[in-house]
Amino acid sequence: MSDEQLSNFLDRTIRKLRTGWQAIAGSSYDEIAASSRPDLPGGDLDRLRGQIRDCLGLRGGEVSARARVAAIGRVYLALDTTGRERFLLVMAEEFGVDHDAVGEAVDAFRNANGEVAMLDAEAQLRTSLVASRVRLLSKFNALPDGIKFLVDMRAELLKLAGKHSTLQPLEQDLKDLLTSWFDVDFLELRRITWDTASASLLEKLIAYEAVHAIESWDDLKNRLDSDRRCFAYFHPRMPNEPIIFVEVALLNGMASNVQDLLDEAAPMQDPSAADTAIFYSISNAQKGLAGISFGNFLIKRVAATLANEFKGLKTFATLSPIPGFIKWLEIALAEGEPGLLTRAESKVLSAASISAPGAESPLKALLVSDWNADEAVFQTLRSPLLRLCARYLIEEEGKNAQALDPVAHFHLANGATMGRLNWMGDNSVKGIRQSAGLMINYVYELNRIDDNHEAYTSSGKRAASSGLKNLLKG
């Protein structure tokens, strides 16, 4: 899906929210006023502040409270990027924690006499520490599609929080609310099929696919065929919006190349004869839920569902990208890290005369030229690149001893074992650029998932196959 198509798709989502709240909202500063001055100038900011205070007050009943909240939501949706930024800054900077109230609550807690007074003071202190804006945000839960509105608001905040540090507490407040509302026990696992899914839902799969772009409706239909499976988590308050979805191929044997896996002309497999389930794409569909983990639960539940449906399945694995490999290699080369190549590798590369303009290291050839188009260069670089990628996956560390590669960290934290490294597993332009075409199979051995998870999260120990470890030896 092109950027223009995605923008149009998101615009339709916004229009749906605004239409859904039209009958509820009513306010002197409304969507029409906001639409005429979408950058939220100073005079409108003052009117917005008054409306937020009205929402936080206790005046009126539940119906009028919903109307005031819906009016504020419709104003927000009518603003442009500048206006929304100002809106969020007002909420973050002017409707936070009341520090005077906290001070009074602390004094009351210190001076409490007796157990009952202590418990009352403790409850008062907890209440005082909650920002007033949290009460406003919570009210959107009662509106149709109100949770989707907050998810999208957090996506906006995540883009702005680096620019304005004062927005970070608001973003954290919203994340805390969404984390509690999106507990995995509240979510529904649903299989998506070509015949039963709505056109709108199928369109969303195309828009949200984040690993291997869906190029056409035929491509999507192929991914939903009888030898494939697609599962997604849904929230009961967002029944038509996938939260995260996984695409699975049912095969005989381990997959090693994603182009073969997605080939629309490839013959259909008999799913009842499959012995391997390959998870080849896992996409988080809602940017506003970033940092709230669903993937580990999704993989385990889908594996259990497939094992129950197909008794012949013995292996559950992924065919995964290695998005950080070339970036890591570029940094190591730029910093002149010694020992990237072994002595034997350096001799072989030098003898093959692999070089590029301005590339003092033979390895830099793959960063500044179409190295994979030259068969001699292609074959000569294979061995060192496999070894370096194995080193990157097994040894290189990020914070807290985590795997440096984000996809590796995701699967290791979920209890997977790093399996086979596949040469030219993704020969697309993107695959060559981000990982020199390499892909990896993460294997989910159902009886080892919990032990692997504990070892990785507690000490950073990474479960890896003997074949991957042997690549370190060159």
Catalytic residue positions?
320, 411
Q: Which two tokens stand for residue 318?
A: 């992924």
Rg, the chain, Cα only = 27
What is the C-alpha separation between 421 and 427, in angstroms, rounded? Answer: 14
CA 289 to chain centre: 7
Helix/strand/coil for 284: strand
What is the C-alpha separation between 425 and 319, in angstroms, rounded? Answer: 8
* Dihedral angle over CA of 108, 112, 117, 118, nearest 10: 90
Helix/strand/coil for 315: strand
Name the amino acid, one letter, at 297: F
Provide CB contacts within 8 A for 288, sequence distance 6+: 150, 151, 152, 153, 154, 155, 156, 158, 178
Of 132, 144, 169, nearest to 154 by C-alpha is: 169
